[in-house]
Every structure is written in C-alpha cells, then in structure tokens.
Amino acid sequence: MPSRDPPLRSRTALFGLAVVLCGVTTSACTGAGESSAPPASVSGRIADIADRYWDFYLEWHPLEATYLGEKGQDDRLEDITPQGRQARSDMAGRFVDELASIDPGQLGHRDRLTYLALKQALEGELTRQGCEPAVWVVDHR
C-alpha cells in the first residue's frame, strides 16, 4: 500500500471535516458559491478557525493523533487532570466565541457546512468536559 502524506490522512478523519475543509479552500480560491469580497474574508476566517481547531484537537487527543500518523504527539497521553480538562474547555469556549462572531447567513454552502461541523464538534467537546469524564472511570477493583 503506498504511503500517504500524514496530514492528508489525518484530515480525512475528524467528522468528515477534511471534505468540508477542501471545499472551503476551493470556494475561497474560485469564489464558487460566494457572492462578493466580504464573504471571502469570512471564508478565510472559517478556514483559519478550522485549521487552528484541528491543531488543538490533535494536541488534546494525542493518542488519536498518533493513530492518524501525525508526528509530534507520539510521546504523550491526554491530560485528564482538572487543569487539563479546564484548559480544553476554555479553548473550546474561545473557538465557540469566534464562531459566534460569524454570521452563518453570509456563508456559502461549503463554508456553512464547515461552520456547522466546527460548531457541533466544539459543543460536543464542551459537553464532554462538562460531564467530568474522569469520574466515569470504571475500576474493576
């Protein structure tokens, strides 16, 4: 089986976000489905948020990053300390705030899909952290 570029392989994993991100890049470059200059700048903001979220996602979930072939997380485990969980919640909250500053009505179809995928993933992360996953650990003893 031919070796594939790890970033490309990893971008095919997260909730189909890679397909949406490719659409964002295409629509930003070609203007397909976009009407004027302001949406292009909004499109760039969506792409920037998505790229930064992906980087933080891999940092938050180093085992998944390693599984996906991303380099640089191989020597780490997810930080399940209260401080680590709070840091993830805080960062996810900042991403949600950034998304909230964007009017989805200004977005083309592809960017709207990216927006919705990011919103769902970030809200899921906030919900997950709110459930205090550390207390759900099952011990056989």
pLDDT in tens, 85-120: 889 889 999 999 999 999 998 888 999 999 999 999
What pLDDT, on the 0 to 100 scale, is given for residue 116?
95
Q: Is residue 141 part of a domain?
A: no
Q: Give which of 133, 98, 128, 115 is closest to 15, Cα–Cα.
A: 115
How many other β-carbons are positioned within 10 Å of the β-carbon of residue 35? 10
The closest alpha carbon to 47, from 82, 91, 11, belongs to 11
**Residue range 10-27: mean pLDDT, rounded:** 40
138 in a structural domain: no
137 is a domain residue? no
**Domain presence at residue 87:** yes
The answer as to whether 135 is a domain residue is no
Range of the domain at 88: 6-130
pLDDT at 81: 85
Please indicate whether residue 12 or residue 63 has the higher confidence score (pLDDT).
Answer: 63
**Residues 73, 59 contacting (CB under 8 angstroms):** yes
- Residue 86 within a domain: yes
- On whether residue 136 sits in a domain, the answer given is no
Q: Match 């004027």 to its residue by tokens.
A: 36
Please give the tally of structural domains in the chain.
1
